[in-house]
Structure formats: C-alpha cells, structure tokens
Amino acid sequence: MATLAISTIGDEISLITLMFRTAGDRAPFAVPLLLMAQLLPGLLATPYIGRLVDARDAGMLLAGAALADAVVLVWMAYHPDLSSTLAGASVLSILFAIGGTASFALIPVLATGLGMTLARANAVLEFVRSAGMLAGPVVGGMLVAWGGAGNALLIDAASFALLAAVIVGSGLRRPVERHVGGVGRALFADYLSVLRDRRIVIMIGALTFGVFASAIADVAFVFLVTVSLSAGSIAFGLLTACWAAGMMAGAVVVGTWPVNRPAPVAFASVMVMGTMMVTIGVAGATMLAGLSLVGIAFIVGGAANSVHNVAVRTMLQREAPASAHGKVAALYSAATNGAAILGYMVGGLFMPAGAIDAYLLGGVLGILAGGIGWLLFAVLKPGAARL
C-alpha cells in the first residue's frame, strides 16, 4: 500500500509533464488528442482484458503491467516530440487498463487479508491513492518548471518498477477458476451474465453520462489555469493537489460509514461534483474566479469524487460474483472511458479561450446525470434486477 502511494505520486508527475508538454504547442486539439490517446487503445482492449483478469492471477498481471509501464516511460523520457508522446500514451493506455482491472479484482482479496469490510478496504485504498495524488502534483509542477520533463518521466518509471518488485515479493495473489473465460467461448457469452444484471447496467449507464460531463471540464482545466487565471505550472500542480486533498478527506469520511446503500451515495456525489463545476463557471463568468475560490471548489469536488469512487466500486463488487469481477470492471471502464473520449472531443471545441463555458456545461450535465440517474435506478426494484 505504501508503494501504491509512491506509484501514484509518479503518475501525477507524469500527468503534469505530459499535459504541459502537449499544451505548450497551443494547438486547440493537442490536449484532447493526448487525453484520447490515454484512453482509446485501452478502451478497445478492455473486453479482452476483463476476460484475461478473470482467467489469470490478477497479482502477477498487475506486476507485469507495472514493469511494462516503467519501460515505456523511460522511452518517452528520451522522445519529447508530440507524435512520440501520443504513441507512448497509447501503449500506456492498454497497460493502465490491465493494471486498473487487476487492481479492482484484488481489492476483495486485500479486504480479507486486512480483516475489514469491502467498503472500508475501498476507502483505505482510496485514501492511499489520494495521498499520492496530493504530493504528486506539487512535485510534478516544480519538476516541469525547474527540472525538465525527461527527469519527471524517469521518476514515474522508477515508481512503476518499484511497484512491480513489491507486488512480486509480497506474494499478493488471487486464485482463479480456470474454466472462467475459456478460449472456446465467445467474448459476448462471457459478458452475457453480467449484462443480465439490470442493477449493474443501469448504474453503469447513468454514471457514464456523469463521466462525460466531467471530461468536458478535464480538458478545460489546464486552460482554466493558464488562460482564464493567467497562472503557470506551479498553480496547476497546487490546484490538482487541492482536489487530491479533498479526495483524502472524502476517503476518511466514507471509511467511517457502513455504506450499506452505496448506490444513492454514488449518484449524490455526481451531483455534488456537477455543482462544483457550475460554481467555478458562474464565478468565472462574473469575474469573481481566483485561485483561492477554485481551490476551495476543488477540495469539495475532490471529496465528492472520492466518495463516488468508493461507492461505485463497493456496489459493483458486492453485486457481481468474484469470478466476474474482471468483466464487471471491464464493462465499467469501457463505458466510462468511451464517455470520457466523447467529453474530451466536446471540451476541445471550447479551447483554449472557453474554459469557463466548458465548466458551466459540464456542471449542468453532471447535476442532471446524478439526479435523473438516481430516479431511474430507484424505479427498479431489487427483486427484478436480473432478467
């Protein structure tokens, strides 16, 4: 868990580096292209990754993906041009999809090993990741400003190599049922049992729209800082750290709750994030936006983000059998990543000067996604969840 926090710091350093390396060209769609490269290849491979994780040891898959991440990042450190950046981000997209799906499947194993409830384990891991996200942006912003992009990427590579070594040495393993995801079965047949669960399908479908709304603001973030607020890389890192601080607070709070009904918590947190984006948009439109106000809004939004992550993971892990956790994670990842790509494309239409409008649009859509999604979910009776 400590190594996971270190790896998360490295991830944030890499995010800061690649974002500013790409945004430096001032091409309107350069940042959306980077964000899409980080998602699209993994999105296309996700269905196969879900079946792979359910058929193989998720612990070793996570270690292998982390080691491959380190190799790719070292290569990117010495190839700073835009095409190489996009190519490297595309490969990392697939590796991150493998690592994320494997991590989802390993959380119940960690919960058992730690002797705590599933919701509490999700909250603990959310806190660990948030701690890394809090330190990472500050370090990343300083490295971009003073140390150079290449060194920043090398640091991220080292964190992934450390993560791979610790996972292998720790003995963290997930037993699998060898008949799951057999090579003779059609891909759709493997996912059919999951798709028959209407509770899972409705939650994924509704919350996917909330991801689309947030993705619009994600594209606008770097331009909100550099154009609307006329600030630089250090301010970018500090504001990202505000979001991470909020996530830490949210993880602590949700970790003290029993979370017996994670679904309404997930939808409500989407509405809170939408309200945060609207607040930034309104403040910017009325010339009241400043670093302090945006920082406070990001703390609130980060707390809601953390609560949302714990609630969604807990609901999906409870609803699906352990032998299908990889496929459930793959479905959720595919749906949300697809929505994020569409959101990045829409957000790109507002750049570089329309960050405030992008936050207004994303916030309104987020509020609608949470409210309407909960109404649709509440109509479905638990007894009729499976077709």
Provide block-wise average pLDDT over 10 residues at a time, the chain (387 residues): 75 74 65 78 85 85 92 89 86 88 85 83 83 70 68 84 89 68 54 71 82 86 76 75 84 78 86 90 73 85 89 81 79 82 84 82 91 81 50
Per-residue pLDDT tens digits for 270-310: 999 999 999 888 877 776 667 778 888 889 998 998 888 88
d(CA 12, CA 8): 6
Q: Are 203 and 312 in contact (CB under 8 A)?
A: yes
Which residues touch 381 (CB under 8 Å, ≥6 apart)? none
**DSSP class of residue 260?**
S
Peptide bond into 175 cis (omega under 30): no
Q: Are 209 and 369 in contact (CB under 8 A)?
A: yes
Q: Are 245 and 235 in contact (CB under 8 A)?
A: no
d(CA 193, CA 216): 33
CA dihedral 298, 18, 343, 360 (to 10 degrees): 40
Q: Identify the residue whose tokens are 């995010």.
A: 15
Count CA within 13 A, CB hemisphere, residue 132.
22
Q: Identify the residue whose tokens are 């309407």.
A: 372
d(CA 282, CA 359): 9
**DSSP class of residue 46?**
H
The reported pLDDT for the residue numbered 141 is: 66
Q: How many beta carbons lie within 10 A of that of residue 354, not counting itself? A: 17
d(CA 207, CA 72): 32
Q: How many beta carbons lie within 10 A of that of residue 103, not counting itself? A: 20
pTM: 0.74
d(CA 351, CA 219): 8
Quote the crossing angle between the two packed helices 82-114 and 40-55, to the nearest 10°.
30
d(CA 313, CA 23): 33
The reported pLDDT for the residue numbered 378 is: 79
Q: How many beta carbons lie within 10 A of that of residue 39, not counting itself? A: 24
